[in-house]
Structure formats: C-alpha cells, structure tokens
Structure 1
C-alpha cells in the first residue's frame, strides 16, 4: 500500500511541473528569429537575428498567466552577406549604433486552439513601440533529455510593416511587409544561476 501511495505521489508531483506557471530562460543556441521580405519582386532574402536573450513564463493550466520578454541585439543580425549586414545596421535602416537592441514584451497571451496561442505585445524598434501579434504553436513541454531540466519549445509567426518602425527605406520597391518566423527552446535556469 505504501508503494502505491508513493507511486501516486510521484506521478502527481511530476505532472504538476507543467500545471502551474514556470519561468524559463530562452536558449540562444536553439532560438532563431528569421525575417523575410520581397526584393523588387525578384527574390525573398532573409536575415537572422541571433544572440537572443529573454525570459518566458508558461502556465499550461492558465495560459493567460503566461508572458514573454525578449531582447534581440542587433550585433547578432546576420543576413549571410557581410556588406549587407553593415547596411542593415547603418542609419539607413536600424541605426544600431544608436539603437542597439530590438525588444518585445507581451501584454496578453490567449489560447487559440489545441496547442496554439495568440501572444500580443509591444515591439520596440528604434525607440518606436507598436503592438505586434504572434501566432504561436507549442511544440513540447517536458524534461529536456540533455539539459536534465524542464524545458519548453515554441514556433511563432507574424507579419510586420517596416514603415511602422522607421526602417522603411526603398518601400514600395522593397516590400514594406516583413514576415517573421521564430523557433525557440527555453529552459528552467540552473539552481543558483542568474535569472535576470
């Protein structure tokens, strides 16, 4: 009888890991933010925002209590063409010397079907803050087999207008609309680690 009670207690304890709000730190090695746009109708170039930093709170039982806060350092911007990277960081576009980071802070998280979320938040580029809505898919919430800690993974998409954020050079020849595709893994911080 004691063994049965112990097994039940362990099962409940394990299940409760994801039954309440859990705070995770984004893993920059497994987080990609990819932007894509139309160039003169000829091609669809992409740029990758790396070195992502952020915190994610996920509450599976009450998704409205979830939140996300992310910083994209423009030092990590990579279009796979070094000269173009410099142009994107210049005052023609992001003016990274003056505005070194892009930030996103959620203001609302809503359920949008099985394994789906709609995340609304404030996106700030060049000190201009506008609302943005992410369509999010929960990939997995479980113990990470390599890190040996609780982890969660999401994909997300959204479409933005460059002109809303002061990076509208060459519109309409280069599309105003930019598609963003995001994939991320986030881990519960190690015990004693900096959780900022």
Structure 2
C-alpha cells in the first residue's frame, strides 16, 4: 500500500512539473550554423546589394499552446557581418557605420508577441545598434516544429522580416545614395536544450 501511494505521489509530481513546463513554454537554443540575418538596401536606385551575418547566439522561449506568451533574445556578432566585398566590410565595421570595435554585437529582445494565427506572429521588441535602442516589429512565420532528425530533440524554425531606417540607429552614412531604409530578414533554426 505504501509503495502504491509513493508511486501515485511521484506520478502527480511529474505531471505537475510537466504542466508547469508546458505553461512556461520550451527554451530553444538558436543554432548559429543554421541561422542567418540578411540586410538589403538600394544603391543609387540601380541595385539592391545585401550583407549577411551568422554565428548568431540566443534563446527562443516558445509556448505552442499560447504563442503570445513566447519570447526571444539574440545577439548578432558584427565580426560575422559580410558583404563579400573586403573594402565595404571594413567600412561597415568602422566608425562611420557599426563601430564594431566598440560595439561588437547587435542585440534584439522581444517585449511582446502577437499570435496572428496559422503560425504567423508579430514580435515586438527592442533592437540595439551601437548605443541606440529602438522599438521594432518583426513579422514572423513558423516554418516547422518537430523532432530534429540529427539532434533528436524538439526543434523549431522561423523566418522573420522588418524594415528599418539606418538614421534611427546612427548608421546613416552616404544617404540618400545608399538608402536610409533597409530590409532585414532573418531565418532561425533552434533546438531545445537537452533534458537534465
């Protein structure tokens, strides 16, 4: 009888813990090898060049039952930012633009999430570039949720985008020849932490 009661209590505790974990969402660690930010701009109106950054670090807390309770925090290392043009990369990391020596990363942290249905989210948050922090809204779409075939753990993937003004963050050099408005796109793959 005592053994049955102990088993019942253990099962109740485990069930309660699982319910709490579900209510709080699951933490997914961003995979820096399969996550990328791409920035696109207009050059003299003739072309739309782009630069991209990898090596992104961060965590997505995603609540599948209540997506609006989800959150995300990430850092984009400027050392990985490249246009594939060495001279331009040097300028972008220099004081006229990102001043990467003084501010080595761009940061984003969500403040709220709107669930728009069918895997679509509006992610409100604060974007930090150099010493400026401004509110932005990312339009996001969930690509997939399921067990990652290589990691053998739950995983999720999203694409998100927004439009920014460089002048809002003090990186408006060469405007308007180089457009003040830039499009930012991010694709994210994130895997749940291993059970402890």
Query: Within 1, Cα distance between the matches of 2:103 and 2:32?
Result: 21
Count residues in correspondence. 177
Deviation at 1:190, TM superposition (A): 2.8
1:168 aligns with 2:172: yes
1:158 aligns with 2:162: yes
Question: Which residue, 139, 145, 150 being the options, matches 1:141?
Answer: 145
| Gaps in structure 1 of 5+ consecutive residues | 1-12
* Bigger Rg over Cα: 2
SS at match of 1:29: coil
1:179 aligns with 2:167: no
Query: Within 2, Cα distance between the matches of 1:85 and 1:189?
Result: 34
1:51 aligns with 2:55: yes
State the partner residue of 1:109.
113
Question: Which residue, 26, 31, 34 being the options, matches 1:30?
Answer: 34
State the partner residue of 1:78.
82
Deviation at 1:144, TM superposition (A): 0.5
Deviation at 1:60, TM superposition (A): 1.2
Deviation at 1:113, TM superposition (A): 2.5
Contact 1:50–1:78, Cα closer than 8 Å, also in 2: no
Q: CA offsets per residue over residues 74-106 of structure 1, 9 Å max, x none?
A: 011011112211110000100111111100000
TM-score, normalised with respect to structure 1 = 0.86
Query: Within 1, Cα distance between the matches of 2:86 and 2:195?
Result: 39
Q: CA offsets per residue over residues 3-32 of structure 1, 9 Å max, x none?
A: xxxxxxxxxx9xx9x964110100011101
| Gaps in structure 2 of 5+ consecutive residues | 1-14
State the partner residue of 1:4.
none
Deviation at 1:68, TM superposition (A): 0.2
SS at match of 1:87: helix
